[in-house]
Chains A and B, each alone.
Chain A
Amino acid sequence: MARDKAQREDYTGPVRRLLLTVIILCLGGIFLFWRIDSPRVEQFRARIVDHVMPSFDWAMVPVTGAINLVRDFQSYSRLVEQNRELRSELRQMQAWKEAALQLEQENARLLDLNNVRLDPRLTYITGVVMADSGSPFRQSVLLNVGARDGLVDGWAAMDGIGLVGRVSGVGQETARVILVTDASSAIPAVIQPSGQTALIAGDNTAAPLVDFLEKTELVRPGDRVVSSGDGGVLPAGLLIGQVAADRGGRLRVRLSADLERLEFLRILRHHGTETVTDPGDVVRPNRPPLPASSANE
């Protein structure tokens, strides 16, 4: 008991108080520095994650796999039922596949007729999802590709069908993808077929809001939402999802990408949209430049 007391006395000593003050000042300083110069601290965060996460990887993959296996096992009990459902779905799919093949051929023919050249620079890198944000308030995932693979902040991440998010924070071996459902995500989009532009703003729910819409009456649930490429960060024409109205009557996007279990993500290489900068010259046949001709006369 006496020893115990002595220890407590020891704890409230001046050295300890000094240490505590230093700790508090340091932590407060880090927080304020983050508030003032967020990009630099976020870069530092990406570096930390880049160092820590790959060393966890050996354990994360099997544990995630095992937990998913257990979850899947629960659904095995309905195996017969599921089998029947899958068969009927497969029949439908075969019909669709036939339709898709015909459309593909038609599309190829039309492209050939029109002499269309698709952007050859729009290639992609595929990454594996290593971790998520770990917090219920942030929607992001960590991929196992990074600056080493030439990733750049702002590139779009797709899951093969629809837009999932964009790269924000690149480490040497890892990169963070902010999902479109995150509260800080806003993606300029255009709604087909009305051509209305809007901002797809995540709000931490499964279906992001359609914001800044000029004429709401032109947009109907079921319309396709694709990225517009405004702002030059994401390429234009990436499928995001379909418009749907929620219970409150607000327009939201039902995402085409399946965010429930992300495993592989495609990062589209995008080197910026070229813009027309010069005002345009008068169209005329090739002649020597004007100053020379005026000097001759």
Chain B
Amino acid sequence: MTRDSRVLRQAFSVAVATGAYGISFGALSVAAGLSVLQTQALSLLLFSGGSQFALVGVLAAGPAGAPAAVAASSLLGVRNGLYGLQVSKMLDVRGWRRVAAAQLTIDESTAVAVGQRDAAAARTGFWATGLGVFVCWNLMTLLGSLLGDALGDPRRYGLDAAAAAAFCALLWPRLRSVDACAIAALAALVAVLVAPHAPSGIPVLVAATTALLAGVWRRAHHDPPPPHHWEHEGEGAAA
């Protein structure tokens, strides 16, 4: 197989796998009280899975949590800035292409791009994965939100548990070291203990400060830099 078709096949498999969970985002978003149109706007404009799940997860508790929901979503989006730093060196884009590249800078496109052996393959990988995920993610979001709209009471179908499981699955690939597990355990504990005493959304923001521990704890978090996603899929597709 030629190098290009190998990269494209990898991009395709990542796009389909990621798109599949767009269904769960769409269903959970309407279950959280957003309209089909608002849900679709998030997948088109915000386009970053973790931030989208966080926003609708916090909004589910009621509109009073909206500012905290935006804050949680944006803090999760900080990592995309770091990804941009990595991929901008490979892409060398200007003008509208830079705007398009920025919008497509997410876990998956960055992971495929940095996983390539040379710059040309990295560029192909970035654009193919970014565009592929964008299309699949948006189509599956629409399908999920229409299905979710038809379902009715979210609790009856276990959609509240599905939201918790979605966050688990997003967290899982990042738990590669003892420090990562310690920060995760502490953050979860802080959030649950603060929850009864604070308005919705605030507990998550308070818990986010545990990440500062990694800053003062010099030996903490000696993982390779992000992203950690899709490594297995990348290896599988490249084999």
Answer yes or no: are A and B bound together in one complex. Answer: no
Interfacial residues, chain B to chain A (CB-CB below 8 A): none
Interfacial residues, chain A to chain B (CB-CB below 8 A): none
